[in-house]
Amino acid sequence: MIYKNKFLIYKIIVILICFITTSFFTGSIECRAETNKENLQSKGEIYFYLDNVTPFNSLNNLIDEIDYLKDNGIQFFIEASPIFVNQDLKAMGRFAECLRYAQANEGKVILKFPIINSKGVDGESVSGQLIREKVKVAFNNYTNYWVYPVGMSVNESLLYREDLKNLLECTDTLFLDSQDNLNIDMNNYTIKSYDNIIQKINVDDYIKNNKINIYDKSAICVESDCNFQEFKKNVDKILNKEIILTANNRLNSYMKFDNEVKSNSKGIFFNNEDVTQQRFISEEEYKNAFVKEDSKEENLVKKDLTLSNKMIEIVSTVALLIFLIILVLSKNIERKRFFK
Amino acid sequence: MSIVDYLVIYSLIVIWITVFMNVILVISGYIYYSKINNEQMDEQLKDYPFISILVPAHNEAVVIKKTVTALLELDYPKDKYEVIIINDNSSDNSAQILQEMQRNYEERNLIVINTDNIIGGKGKSNALNIGLEKSTGDILAVYDADNTPDRKALKYLVQTLIKDKSLGAVIGKFRCRNKDRNLLTNFINIETLTYQWMAQAGRWNLLSLCTIPGTNFVVRREIMNEMGGWDTKAITEDTEVSFRIYRMGYKIKFMPLAVTYEQEPETIKVWFRQRNRWVKGNIYVVIKNLKYLFNTKAGVTRFDILYYTLVYFFFLSASLISDFIFILGGANLVQIHIGGYEVILWFMALLVFILSVMVAISTEKGELNFKNVLIILLSYFTYCKMWAIVSVAGFYNYIRDIVFKREVKWYKTERFS
């Protein structure tokens, strides 16, 4: 009896301790949530942006960077340079594989606006139409590799080029490299009302408040093309400052040429087909899928049993009806037998 | 199309052919039930032929007394039948029990043949042949050692046989004596009723075709003499004899008013061994008779060859393939590129199965109840799958016996007290 009571007392003490601990943590989480809310309200939406990702970067380093972001629970945007040529090279496959790895680990790809030389190779000035064609090639090239750009990164000054308007309107999401000294008379220009204008701010500038953030959405840019330790240091700066980063799936966006990529909280959609990558698709799997796709095309003439199955259904229904009638008859026979 | 697609089409075709074949048989069986329901049997016969009842028994001490007593109390003139018990190399006290019974029924024609492992112990066919040699009746009746026939069973079987000269044998109905013992015996009860009303009654009504079930049947002695007795290599001697009777130009009729009660396996182990023997035996019979499939002289037995081939080779393989593809498809390991392949088909198959079995059991008083409907539903997912397993095992054992030239052993079903 004594032991039984003792056991009961221990049990009550344990439950009390659990209750107090839970209350304490719940309280502190609520407190923190309040603080975070205040931060978010004061600074708007802040995204993480992995800047300057090109096929020429160390891809192993890039994978380490993605892993580090994943380990710290950071959802991020990753900037990818446009590729117009040599898209069939192995290097392209490897680069796309890294970008798919990023996509599978909470990353969303942003297409970088191409670098424009003032004159083309033939000495002629580069027209907006030509640039559009090139960007479209780059976009299609990525989507062919199952990399889905959801917005574009562009220098602020290009927003005001008339010949590029048509190109920039292919998306509703622009990450801006803002320029403080834009020598432009704003009154002479009209630009489309974009859903998402996100100002890119270098991590150090952001922390030191060197940059005036005029938009309600901003992206803290961390350089990708550096050694991993430096990258880590930069990311840690954000983490140590306890900056609340906005999840990238909160941003609804699209990018559209002939094909359309849409991004929202439900995932990524390519021509309205869900292409959200829940897991990493390796180069091998990607290639095999194409082999399967080819064989699928060969097998386009699938066997359609709809007609014969309909026949089976009709005959089965008739059989079932006959059975039901027989069962009713049987019940009557049995009842008669019972009353005999 | 991939190989999986072809396999799906194969299983669909085979399963639905079997389903529709069984639908026709069930309906035909029910029509026969309606006919027989109105049939009036003679309670007195003008002439009572002398009957030899053969009862092969191997280690049947648990049940033999009850069986012999029931056989001696049959509603048939006592001097017009003999009961021959072939106590086949038993190691239990069957011999003492039978000796005591002989003393108690001294005035009756109760003959006990005790065999040793030199002339006996070689299976049911061999035991029946020993009994055949000793018997004197114009008509032979065979009962298993665990049977308790209805008093009028023999009279009904005999009068049906003597009324029609084209009949070589008449088979009665068997019921499960221990059906309420457990779930397995409930399954077997429903299975035996369905088999008899679908396969036996259905085939008889449609094609004048039946298969001897191994117990509760009568056969003309001259036929057995002419065919040289039972095939000792066959472990399902009943099926084998049936084929031969038909090839001799006789028919086998189903007379469900002649009822016997028998004990069914109460454990999975015993059930598995018994069914394994059936599968092996039936495969032997099908292969032995396959050559008659295109022989017009084989008559309606060609349907049986086709039916057994369909069930034991095609249907079971289709059923297994279908299950495997279902599992692999569920695990996303295979893909099917077939249009119109819908769940409704599977649901239809299930409904047809349940209702057809319900129709079959509705012929028996009190069997069509809610409990049995649930058991039918459950059996679709359990008992039917057990059958698939036992069939694969039986097929494997048959091949193994052939390859390693093993002697075919007759497994005697274990009895329960």
Check if B351 contacts A (Cβ < 8 Å). Answer: yes
The answer to whether the Cα torsion of B294, B300, B301, B306 is positive or negative is positive
Q: Are residues A161 and A24 in the same domain?
A: no
Digit-by-digit pLDDT tens for chain B (417 residues) are 678 888 888 888 898 898 899 999 999 999 999 898 888 888 888 889 999 999 999 888 888 999 999 999 999 999 999 999 999 888 889 899 999 999 999 899 999 999 887 887 778 888 999 999 999 999 999 999 988 999 999 999 999 999 999 999 999 999 998 888 899 999 999 999 999 988 899 999 999 989 998 899 999 999 999 989 988 877 778 888 898 898 888 999 999 999 999 888 899 999 998 888 888 888 888 888 888 888 877 777 788 888 888 887 888 888 888 888 888 887 878 777 776 666 788 888 889 999 999 999 988 888 888 999 999 999 988 998 888 888 888 888 888 888 877 665 555 666 665
pLDDT number for residue A149: 95
Decide if B26 contacts B356 (C-beta within 8 A).
Answer: yes
Q: Are residues A16 and A57 in the same domain?
A: no
Beta bridge partners of residue B140, listed in sequence order = B52, B219
Q: Do A302 and B363 touch (CB under 8 A)?
A: no
Interatomic CA distance for residues A80 and B240, integer angstroms: 78
Q: Are residues A287 and A316 in the same domain?
A: no
> Residue B157 CB: number of other CB atoms within 10 A?
28
Interatomic CA distance for residues B155 and B140, integer angstroms: 13
Cβ-Cβ contacts under 8 Å for A158 (sequence gap 6 or more): A113, A164, A168
Closest residue of B to A329, CA-based? Answer: B362
Q: Are residues A207 and A62 in the same domain?
A: yes
Q: Do A323 and B358 touch (CB under 8 A)?
A: yes
Q: Are residues A151 and A70 in the same domain?
A: yes
Q: How confident is the model at residue A340 (pLDDT cuts 50, 70, 90)?
A: low
Check if A336 contacts B (Cβ < 8 Å). Answer: no
pLDDT number for residue A28: 41
Q: How confident is the model at residue A191 (pLDDT cuts 50, 70, 90)?
A: low
Interatomic CA distance for residues B252 and B240, integer angstroms: 13
Mean pLDDT check: name the lowest of A2-11, A71-80, A96-105, A118-127.
A2-11
Q: Are residues A135 and A282 in the same domain?
A: yes
Reference A271, options A262, A283, A280, A284; nearest CA is: A262
Reference B221, options B157, B138, B165; nearest CA is: B138
Q: Are residues A23 and A135 in the same domain?
A: no
Closest residue of A to B38, CA-based? Answer: A333
Segment A83-98 mean pLDDT = 84
Interatomic CA distance for residues A5 and B230, integer angstroms: 79
Residue B262, judged by CB atoms within 10 A of its CB (0-12, 13-18, 19+), counts as buried
Q: Do B2 and A315 touch (CB under 8 A)?
A: no
Listed by number, the residues of chain B in 306-345 with a beta carbon closer than 8 Å to a beta carbon of chain A are: 337-342, 344-345
Pairing of strands A196-202, A173-177: parallel
Task: Provide the residue range defining the domain that includes A256.
Answer: 44-295
Substitution target from B12, B32, B194, B348 for chain A, most A beta carbons within 10 A: B348
Which domains, from first to last, does chain B contain?
3-29+295-403 (no CATH), 40-265 (3.90.550.10)
Q: Do B337 and A303 touch (CB under 8 A)?
A: yes
Q: Are residues A28 and A103 in the same domain?
A: no
Q: Do A326 and B9 touch (CB under 8 A)?
A: no
pLDDT number for residue B97: 93
Q: Are residues A145 and A22 in the same domain?
A: no
Q: Are residues A196 and A333 in the same domain?
A: no
Check if A328 contacts B (Cβ < 8 Å). Answer: no
Q: Do B356 and A304 touch (CB under 8 A)?
A: no
Cβ-Cβ contacts under 8 Å for B46 (sequence gap 6 or more): none
Q: Do B339 and A302 touch (CB under 8 A)?
A: yes
Interatomic CA distance for residues B110 and A280, integer angstroms: 82
- Percentage of residues in chain A having pLDDT higher than 90: 29
Decide if B124 contacts B237 (C-beta within 8 A).
Answer: yes
Size of interface A-B (CB pairs under 8 A): 83
Check if A299 contacts B (Cβ < 8 Å). Answer: yes
Q: Do A330 and B23 touch (CB under 8 A)?
A: no
Q: How confident is the model at residue A233 (pLDDT cuts 50, 70, 90)?
A: very high
Check if B355 contacts A (Cβ < 8 Å). Answer: yes
Output DSSP code: residue B69.
H
Q: Which of A302, A309, A326 faces B359 most closely, judged by CB atoms?
A: A326
To the nearest whole Å, the CA of B192 is away from the closest chain A CA by: 19
First to last CA, chain B: 57
CA atoms within 13 A on the CB side of A260: 11
**CA distances from residue B300 to A149, B167, B194, B209, B305 in whole angstroms, order as listed:** 72, 14, 22, 7, 9
Q: Is A194 left (phi over 0), alpha (psi -120 to 50) or beta?
A: beta
Closest residue of A to B16, CA-based? Answer: A312
Check if B259 contacts A (Cβ < 8 Å). Answer: no
Q: Are residues A291 and A310 in the same domain?
A: no
- Chain A environment of B1 (Cβ under 8 Å): 299, 302-303
pLDDT number for residue B122: 79
Q: Are residues A27 and A130 in the same domain?
A: no
The number of domains in chain A is 3
* Chain-centre distance for alpha carbon B264: 12
CATH number for the domain including A193? 3.20.20.370
Q: How confident is the model at residue A300 (pLDDT cuts 50, 70, 90)?
A: very low
pLDDT digits (tens, 9 = 90+) for B69-92: 999 999 999 999 999 999 988 888
Strand order across the beta sheet in which A273-274 lies: A253-256, A260-264, A267-270, A273-274
